[in-house]
Structure 1
């Protein structure tokens, strides 16, 4: 499938520079939140395929990444990122709830955004997301997520890129964006890594479940970065959420844009068909 090219823009969110991509038709609005160390442009090919399926896709570079200004010091937590997402939506003219899609760290931000600001989110799609309460060490011992050492993330990220096809498709775009991010703002890289490795959002997920927010978890079979125990603890706090399993590693959506576009489009169509006949429509940016 030919993919739509995203257009790239710069705006000021709360008086600070922010970058984002946008593409697609005037269909349902999808806001995509990227993973740790990456940026909006990292996912351009995958999001282009998604935009080709009749969706209007927005992809901001989160604070501290991709040239978007970092949050003030007292706002550098998941609530601060969630508040930034809400303000970003207001800035670009989106006034109604959107489908919020988050990958890895972006999944954690998406959870907090939906929890803290219910009016922003009509449905939540979590792709290999952080936020579970548990992990297993190399001896198979179940531990609290806050006990996972930072170096363990690095080792498993390296292992995730080892398959040849995954490395060939994913490594170049990761290096293109992760290295400049590291050089531009190394402090943000490490602060967000610490947020990601210690995030336990099971309480927030349980509350979202009570609110009956449509929520889908997408997980890849060979994710070496976020272990299965984290998936299980995400799943446990919800009332049998829809779980979709796909081939690949942590960066499967970068390695296989076609599958990503197909999965997300199908999820959105299922949720939309189950919605009331006159759903509330989100506003759109010009």
Structure 2
């Protein structure tokens, strides 16, 4: 066999393997999404863990601190969010703290059970049990975003022995000034609903202000994401009925008056989801809170401004004082 023929056969085999790979990814685009999440997990120095708590299997990311006596930070994502939302912030922190980043029950890779309530109060009790499990006998710094901020406020108020400090980022749970997002929720819609590429682009444009921070979801990964969000539509609607329109919708703000720990309130001024007026409403109920308003960012503060968010949490840990 001549060298030229050998090279031609090798090139054909490589091309066939490449075509097969492309075809497989196009057929199973969720493989591409999983690979990207694994890359982000590794890039942030995190490992994936799982444990059964409060009747659910929790999947979470974790990283130990450089020093064994460092504080433990627990991050809680928002509505339609996932643990991966916190990975940019995890990279900024390095090894200063132990990090625990769960998918809340019902979301991401954690277990969802039929006919369960995944509203503010039920999730706060599950989160309290999770904190007891991952950090026994040592209170944590609890950081919650959006819906996760409302859940974190309830845990800090109702289980103060579990939380040494609390940070509420763009947190839900109070009656903020009217905006389009709030009006659509009250009208019975899901402004975050995704069922095609146009609604996906609308969702991303609503939660992000900085285009450079917006996740790129190219074909065929967008197919997998859209399919998953379409399957989740009924679940999302049920949760939104609890936290956006039901009797619990303002419970975090009402209970916030019981928060005695050092508290950080952090908002982005261009937040089109939870209007920045919410920060003042929380501050009126938590007089010891420090408020940080960041400019030129939207609802996803920890992804759009991770360095500034990390600095504010550092200050909360280093200089916070209890009421």
Residue in 2 that maps onto 1:112: 154
Residue-by-residue CA offset, 1:25-68 (whole Å, 9 max, x unaligned): 13111111011112112322322322x15111101100111121
Give the structure 2 partner of residue 259 of structure 1: 308
CA distance in 1: counterparts of 2:183 and 2:205, whole angstroms: 23
2:272 counterpart (224, 239, 243): 224
What TM-score do the two structures reach when normalised by structure 1? 0.78
Q: 1:162 to 1:40 in 2, by over 3 A?
A: closer
What is the distance in 1 between the residues matched to 2:153 and 2:138? 17
- 2: CA distance between counterparts of 1:127 and 1:177? 29
Normalising to structure 2: TM-score of the pair?
0.70
Higher relative contact order (CA 8 A, sep 6+): 1
CA contact (8 A) 2:253 2:285 kept: yes
Q: Which residue is equivalent to 1:246?
A: 294
User: Among residues 75, 79, 83, which one is paired with 2:121 in the alignment?
Assistant: 79
Q: Residue 223 and residue 171 in structure 1: after superposition, are their counterparts in 2 closer, same or farther (change >3 A)? A: farther
Q: Any idea what SS the aligned residue of 1:110 has?
A: helix
Mapped contact 2:262–2:288 kept (Cα < 8 A): no
Q: Is the counterpart of residue 235 in structure 1 residue 274 in structure 2? A: no
Match of 2:138 among 72, 78, 96: 96
Match of residue 174 from structure 2: 132
- SS of the residue corresponding to residue 177 of structure 2 reads strand
Partner of 1:283: none
1:4-19 aligned at under 5 Å gives the runs: 4-19=44-59
Distance 1:67 1:118, change over 3 A: same
- Gapped regions of structure 1 (runs ≥ 5): 276-286
Cα 1:96–1:188 shift into 2, 3 Å? farther
- The answer on whether the counterparts of 2:48 and 2:61 sit within 8 Å (CA) in structure 1 is yes
Contact 2:176–2:278 (CA<8 Å) still a contact in 1?
Answer: yes
Closer, same or farther: CA 59–233 of 1 in aligned 2, 3 Å = same
2:71 corresponds, among 19, 22, 28, to 28
Count of residues paired in the alignment:
262
Deviations 1:167-217 (A, max 9, x none): 3xx454997996575256433322223334242122201122xxx221110
- Secondary structure of 2:239's partner? helix
Q: 2:239 aligns with which of 158, 179, 192?
A: 192
Q: 1:109 to 1:265 in 2, by over 3 A?
A: same
Please say if residues 105 and 112 of structure 2, whose CA atoms lie closer than 8 Å, have aligned partners that are also in contact: yes
8 Å contact kept, 2:168–2:265 = yes
* 1:134/1:229 contact within 8 Å kept: yes
The structure with the larger Rg is: 2
Q: Of Structure 1 and Structure 2, which has the larger fraction of its residues in strand?
A: 1
Helix, strand or coil at the partner of 1:265 = helix
Deviation at 1:264, TM superposition (A): 1.5
Structure 2: where are the runs of 5+ without partners?
1-42, 194-201
